[in-house]
Chains A and B, each alone.
Chain A
Amino acid sequence: MADSAPWWASERFWRTAAVGVTGAMAVVLIFLTVDTYPAMQAGGSKVPPYTVINKAIDYRYDPQLKRQVPVVQETDPLFGEKRSAAAAKALVSKGKRIVQGRNCMNCHTLLGNGAYYAPDLTKAWLDPAWGSPAARESMMVAFLKDPPAYGRGYGSDRRMPDLGISDKEARAVVAFLKWMSAIDTNGFPANFPTMRQ
């Protein structure tokens, strides 16, 4: 590339292009972020309010969208206790802090992100593994408190270690998992057969 290079091969052209393209893309990203933000708020169009833990939740096929969507139904308070917006948020938040503090994400995935050594937790609340809606809450709490005793490996030797999760902590984690199961994940995971309601 001598100094007589055509304009499209010149250093100056590409320097301008690099700065211009980077700036333009950054502006578009900021615009999209502003547009996405309301949908991501708890209670926005894609993410449930924290009080969704007071409701029954399912994940059903929508024939128009041709994918599964979360379906929020009648009142079904978690552990039989209907919570205010503030109390629900506090409980879900406590559950999320526990999930972070116990380093869950380096075995499990949340919304498909994390490690692949243990099952995805996105729809854990709806998983048929818990048997029935009546048994689910107590089974989840018992499992979290003593995973080696209550875990099921389905033929695998993998076990979850005892992370010293107390009864109160387990209930907060279950609240977080229930709230997460109502996030509209654009159909991920697909063809998920939920627990029979």
Chain B
Amino acid sequence: MAPGALDTANLNGGQRLAVRYFTVAVALFVVQTVFGLLAAQQYLTPSFLFATLDFNVTRLVHIDAMIVWMLFGFLGAVYWLLEEESGSPVVGLRLGHVVFWLLTVAVAVVVLVFLLVQYGPGTAFTLWFVNEGREYIEAPRWADIGIVAGLAVFFGNVVATFVRGRWTGIGGVLTLDLIALGGLYLAGMFYTPNLTIDQYWWWWVIHLWVEATWEVIVGCLVAWGLMQILGVRRKIVTTWLYIEVALMFGAGILGLGHHYFWIGTPDYWLWIGGFFSALEPIPLVAMVVHAVYDAGVQRLRSANNPALAWLITQAFGNFLGAGVWGFMQTLPQINLFTHGTQWAASHAHLAFFGAYATTNIAVFYLAVQRWRGNVWMGANLPGDGWKWKWALGLLTAGVLGMSVALLIAGYVESFVQRAQLGSTWQAYFAAQTHPWFTSAMWWRQLFGAITGAGVVLLVWDLATIGRGETRRAELPRAAPATG
């Protein structure tokens, strides 16, 4: 075997399954980016793909590919750390592989139906087999059931493995969080004619996933990653993790209320949602302090520089994208004018990238390092590691640029459409045709192209970094598990 070749002999059982999840996740990241560029182009030239692949299809694939690649990244990451964290081989690994293939085939079928069938009549058949038509959880009901069944098997494997091996703080938090993750998805699996009740439960899935349970998953992954990359002591990361969970759920569970301002719920939600969602940035500050402090203590020396750089990007991106961008529009008095505008798109781009894409990419770099036989990935890489550095720079600049452009577009909508003209259809188009709005959309597409270039470079780098490397990674101080 050539030095630094990809060889599954370098991986434990869980990690072999993990790299499959990671491969599909990267492929879906590419799909997300391509369809994002198509949808953004339709803002600029609305006749582009009109009546062939309309905006509602391109945008649907864009957001759903994003959700699924995040999830696949998380599932893979948990399998990646499971054996070392628990000290036991994964229980039910064969079933885990079967579920991986079932989930992957299901995702492919759902995407093909979205692209080729696109929509159906207003019947139960459509909701079960074509498109459920609810943003983010459009996947038809058969796929919902498959997702829940797949998550149940995954959860069973995780718990059984920790039970057979040893429980750790990270393992405990992860397990409780996965119960919530799977259980909450059930809240989105029913039909009601009442749109208010529909959206009430829809937000249990969307908000309590991305603003609560997903944040805790990445909290676990970042905690574990800091031990791997910097050798931070387990007791310290575990204590931080508990602090983050307390603050995250303390603010985020009732922060759900900021989605209940305008959907037909009692107006006390304005106070509850405004207050608790305004607290949501606090745990994200704690995460920045934690990551930056640990990196500083180690003087930025690490066993895996790309992974460390992505974790630091995560700390700032999560705080800026989820925390600051969310806070800007979360109080009801401003949200009345920003709700349903490009403000939300701006926030979503920066938050999903800053909190979740970055975490997954950091784990991908840890995975290729081990996959190639624990090769050197610290300083002094060939070409000074230009590929990972440029990928990081292009992706960060691209997403930040898109978010600022969309924010400007959102401001135009808030002022012109909502504040000045009162949100009629004519007011809507007055904002959409405003030169500030249209030029912002061109900037968005330019930064989208920069993001796309970053994705290409990232995939290239993940496929090649460490190839032919003969130096072994210098492991940081071991981080022993405590019970």
Residues of A within 8 A of B (CB): 1, 9-11, 14-15, 17-18, 21-22, 25-26, 28-29, 32-33, 35-36, 39-42, 45-47, 50, 89, 92-107, 109-117, 119-120, 123-124, 127-129, 152-159, 161-163, 169, 172, 180, 183-193
Given contacts A11-B235, A117-B42, A190-B418, contact A17 B134 (CB under 8 A): no
Point out the residues of chain B lying under 8 angstroms from A42, CB to CB.
193-194
What is the bound-complex CA distance between A3 and B34, given in angstroms?
Answer: 51
Could you tell me if B119 and A110 are in contact, using CB atoms closer than 8 angstroms?
no
A39 to B265, CA, bound (A): 7
What A residues does B197 contact at CB under 8 A?
Answer: 40-41
User: B196 contacts A192, CB within 8 Å?
Assistant: no
A28 CB contacts on chain B under 8 angstroms? 253-254
Nearest-CB distance from B201 to chain A (Å)?
10
Q: Contact check, A156 vs B426: say whether CB atoms are below 8 A apart.
A: no
The answer to whether B261 touches A116, judged by C-beta atoms less than 8 angstroms apart, is no
Q: How far is the CB of B3 from chain A (nearest CB, A)?
A: 40
The verdict on B135 contacting chain A, using a C-beta distance below 8 Å, is: yes
Stretch at the interface among B8-16, B95-103, B124-132, B303-311: B124-132
B59's closest neighbor in chain A, by CB? A106
Contact B340 A17 (CB under 8 A): no
A188's partner among B123, B130, B245, B339 (CB-CB below 8 A) is B339
CB atoms of A120 and B423 under 8 A apart: yes
Please determine whether B424 and A193 come into contact, CB atoms closer than 8 angstroms: yes
Residues on A with C-beta less than 8 A from B59 are 106-107, 115, 117
**B337 proximal to A (CB < 8 A):** yes
Contact in complex: B122, A94 (CB < 8 Å): yes
Query: Are B429 and A155 neighbours in the complex by a CB distance under 8 Å?
Result: yes
Name B's interface SS.
Answer: helix
A115 to B348, CA, bound (A): 12
Q: B239–A185 contact, CB under 8 A?
A: no
| Cβ contact of B195, chosen from A33, A94, A110, A116, cutoff 8 A | A110
What residues of B have a CB within 8 angstroms of the CB of A89 in the complex? Answer: 193
Report yes or no: B425 in contact with A129, Cβ–Cβ below 8 A: yes
| Contact across chains for A21 and B264 when beta carbons are under 8 A apart | no
Given contacts A22-B253, A36-B200, contact A101 B194 (CB under 8 A): no
- Please give the number of chain B residues whose Cβ is less than 8 angstroms from any Cβ of chain A in the complex: 88
Segment 408-463 of B: residues with Cβ below 8 Å from A:
413, 418-419, 422-426, 428-430, 432-433
Interface, chain B (partner A; CB < 8 A)? 42-43, 45-47, 50-51, 54-57, 59-60, 118-124, 126-127, 130-135, 138, 169, 173, 191, 193-200, 202, 235-236, 238-239, 242-243, 245-246, 249-250, 253-254, 256-257, 259-267, 269-270, 272, 336-337, 339-342, 344-345, 413, 418-419, 422-426, 428-430, 432-433
Q: Lowest 5 CB-CB distances: which A-B pairs, in order?
A: A100-B133, A98-B122, A112-B340, A93-B193, A154-B429
A80 to chain B, nearest CB (A): 23
Known: A22-B245, A25-B250, A180-B195. 11 other contacts (CB 8 A): A32-B254, A36-B200, A96-B193, A99-B122, A100-B131, A101-B127, A106-B135, A109-B340, A111-B196, A156-B432, A185-B263
**Do the beta carbons of B249 and A18 come within 8 Å of each other?**
yes
Q: Which residues of chain A are within 8 angstroms of B422 by Cβ–Cβ distance?
A: 189-193
Nearest CB in chain B: distance from A83 CB, A: 14
**Cβ contacts under 8 Å, B46 to chain A:** 156-159
Q: What distance in Å separates the Cβ of A46 from its nearest Cβ neighbour in chain B?
A: 5
Which A residues are CB-close (under 8 A) to B173?
A: 18
28 contacting pairs across A/B (C-beta < 8 A): A1-B239, A17-B246, A18-B243, A22-B246, A32-B254, A32-B257, A35-B266, A96-B198, A98-B122, A99-B122, A100-B126, A103-B133, A105-B133, A106-B59, A107-B59, A111-B263, A112-B340, A115-B135, A123-B423, A155-B429, A169-B122, A183-B195, A183-B264, A186-B261, A189-B336, A190-B337, A191-B422, A193-B422
Do the beta carbons of A40 and B60 come within 8 Å of each other?
Answer: no
Q: How far is the CA of A45 from the CA of B345 in the complex (A)?
A: 32
B272 touches A32 (CB 8 A): yes
Whether B194 pairs with A36 at a CB distance below 8 angstroms is no
**Which residues of chain A are within 8 angstroms of B264 by Cβ–Cβ distance?**
39-40, 46-47, 111, 183-185
Known: A25-B250, A40-B200, A183-B196. A116 touches B342 (CB 8 A): yes
Within the complex, the shortest CB–CB distance from B248 to chain A, in Å, comes to: 9
In the complex the two chains form, what is the Cα distance from A25 to B250 in whole Å? 6
Picked from B122, B249, B262, the residue with its CB within 8 Å of the CB of A100 is B122
Q: Of A11, A112, A115, which is within 8 A of B242 by CB?
A: A11
Contact between A10 and B428, CB atoms less than 8 A apart: no
Assembled-state Cα–Cα distance A149/B102 (Å): 44
Alpha-carbon gap, A180 to B422, bound state (A) = 18
Contacts of A111 in B (CB 8 A): 195-196, 199, 262-264
Chain B, residue nearest A100 (CB): B133
Contact A129 B196 (CB under 8 A): no
Known interface pairs A158-B432, A188-B339; A36-B266 also in contact (CB < 8 Å): yes
CB distance from A157 to the nearest CB of B (A): 5
Q: Do B135 and A113 touch across chains, with their CB atoms under 8 A apart?
A: yes
Contact present for B430 and A105 (CB under 8 Å): no
Residue of B59, B263, B341, B433 contacting most chain A CB atoms (<10 Å): B263
Using Cβ atoms and an 8 Å threshold, which residues of chain A touch B433? 154-156
Shortest beta-carbon distance from A17 to chain B in Å: 4
The answer on a CB contact under 8 Å between B432 and A101 is no
Q: Are A161 and B266 in contact (CB under 8 A)?
A: no
**8 Å CB contact of A14 from B123, B242, B259, B425:** B242
